[in-house]
A and B are shown apart, each in its own frame.
Chain A
Amino acid sequence: MAASEEAVMWVEKYRPKTLDEVVGLKDITESLKAFMKNPKTMPHLMLAGVPGTGKTTIALAIAHELYGQNWRNFTLELNASDERGIDTVRDRIKDFSRYSRSGFGDIPFALIILDECDQMTGPAQTALRRIMETSSRTSRFILICNQSSKIIEPIQSRCAIFRFSRLDKQAMKEQLQYIARKEKVDLQPEAAERIVEFSEGDLRHAINALQTASAYKEGCVDEKTVSLVIGEASPMQVQKMIRKALYGDFTEARKVMYDIMGNFGFSGNEIIRQIQREIYKMSDVTPEQKADLSSIIGEYDYRLTQGANSDIQLSALLAQFGKFGKNIEETYAAK
Chain B
Amino acid sequence: MQRNDLLWVEKYRPKKIEDIVGNDEAKASFVEWLKNKRHTKKAVLLYGPPGVGKTALVNAAAREFGFTIIEMNASDARSEKAVNAIAKPATSYKALDNFTGETKTSGNMLFLDEVDGIAGNEDRGGVSAIIEIIQKSLVPVIMAANDPDIDKLRPLKKECMLIRFHQVRFPLIIALLQKICLLERVSAEFEALERIAQNSRGDVRSAINDLQSLSEATHNLTLQDTALLSSRNKDISMDETLHQYFAAKSIVEVQRLLSYSSVDYDDFLLSVSDNLPRRYTDPSELAAAYGYVSKADLYRGRIGTENWHLLKYFFNELAQASAVNPESFKPFEFISPPIRIITLFWTKGKRNLLGSICSKIGANCHVSHEVAKHDFVPYIKLMLQQKKNSPLIEWFKFSIEEVDHLLKMGRY
B99-155 residues at the A interface, CB under 8 angstroms: none
B164-203 residues at the A interface, CB under 8 angstroms: none
Q: A240 to chain B: closest CB distance in Å? A: 10
Contact with B along A255-272 (1 / 0, CB 8 A): 000111111111000100
Q: Is the C-beta of A94 less than 8 angstroms from some C-beta in chain B?
A: no
- How far is B298's CA from A270's CA once the two chains are assembled, in angstroms? 19
Contact with B along A3-31 (1 / 0, CB 8 A): 00011110110000000000000000000
Task: Using known A-B contacts A229-B382, A233-B382, A311-B340, determine if residue A208 contacts B297 with beta carbons closer than 8 Å.
Answer: no
Q: Is the CB of A9 within 8 A of B301?
A: no
Considering residues A77, A115, A204, A233, which has the most beta carbons from chain B within 10 angstroms of its beta carbon?
A: A233
Q: Which residues of the other chain, B, contact A313 by a CB distance below 8 angstroms?
A: 294, 297
Q: B242 to chain A: closest CB distance in Å? A: 15
Q: Which residues of the other chain, B, contact A309 by a CB distance below 8 angstroms?
A: 266, 269-270, 273, 297, 300, 340
Task: Using known A-B contacts A212-B383, A265-B351, determine if residue A260 contacts B412 with beta carbons closer than 8 Å.
Answer: yes
Q: Which of B266, B340, B379 contacts A258 (CB 8 A)?
A: B340
Count of chain A residues with a beta carbon within 8 Å of a chain B beta carbon = 66
Q: Is the CB of B294 within 8 A of A311?
A: no
Task: Using known A-B contacts A215-B383, A215-B386, A250-B277, determine if residue A322 contacts B378 with beta carbons closer than 8 Å.
Answer: no
Identify the closest chain A residue to B270 (Cβ): A309
- Interface 9-mer from B12-20, B39-47, B67-75, B359-367: B359-367
Contact with A along B278-309 (1 / 0, CB 8 A): 00000110111111011001101110000000
- How far is B359's CA from A81's CA once the two chains are assembled, in angstroms? 12
Q: Which of A8, A237, A238 contacts B395 (CB 8 A)?
A: A8
- Interface 9-mer from A37-45, A163-171, A184-192, A300-308: A300-308
Q: Is the C-beta of A211 less than 8 angstroms from some C-beta in chain B?
A: yes
Q: Which residues of the other chain, B, contact A212 by a CB distance below 8 angstroms?
A: 379, 382-383
Contact with A along B332-348 (1 / 0, CB 8 A): 00000001100110110
Q: Is the CB of B286 within 8 A of A322?
A: yes
Q: Is the C-beta of A129 less than 8 angstroms from some C-beta in chain B?
A: no
Task: Using known A-B contacts A9-B364, A82-B369, A261-B344, determine if residue A233 contacts B290 with beta carbons closer than 8 Å.
Answer: no
Q: Is the C-beta of A106 less than 8 angstroms from some C-beta in chain B?
A: no
Total number of residue pairs linking A and B with CB closer than 8 Å: 186
Task: Using known A-B contacts A215-B382, A233-B378, determine if residue A308 contacts B287 with beta carbons closer than 8 Å.
Answer: no
Q: Which residues of the other chain, A, contact B369 by a CB distance below 8 angstroms?
A: 79, 81-82
Q: Is the C-beta of B370 less than 8 angstroms from some C-beta in chain A?
A: yes
Q: Which residues of the other chain, A, contact B276 by a CB distance below 8 angstroms?
A: 315, 319
Q: Is the C-beta of A60 less than 8 angstroms from some C-beta in chain B?
A: yes
Q: Is the C-beta of B219 less than 8 angstroms from some C-beta in chain A?
A: no
- How far is B287's CA from A316's CA once the two chains are assembled, in angstroms? 7
Q: Is the CB of B339 within 8 A of A258?
A: yes
Q: A44 to chain B: closest CB distance in Å? A: 19
Q: Is the C-beta of B391 less than 8 angstroms from some C-beta in chain A?
A: yes
Q: A257 to chain B: closest CB distance in Å? A: 10
Residues of B within 8 A of A (CB): 266, 269-270, 273, 276-277, 283-284, 286-291, 293-294, 297-298, 300-302, 339-340, 343-344, 346-347, 350-351, 354-355, 362-371, 373-376, 378-379, 382-383, 386-387, 390-392, 394-396, 409-412
A-B contacts besides A79-B367, A116-B368, A326-B283, 6 pairs, CB < 8 Å: A2-B395, A306-B302, A307-B294, A308-B301, A311-B273, A326-B284
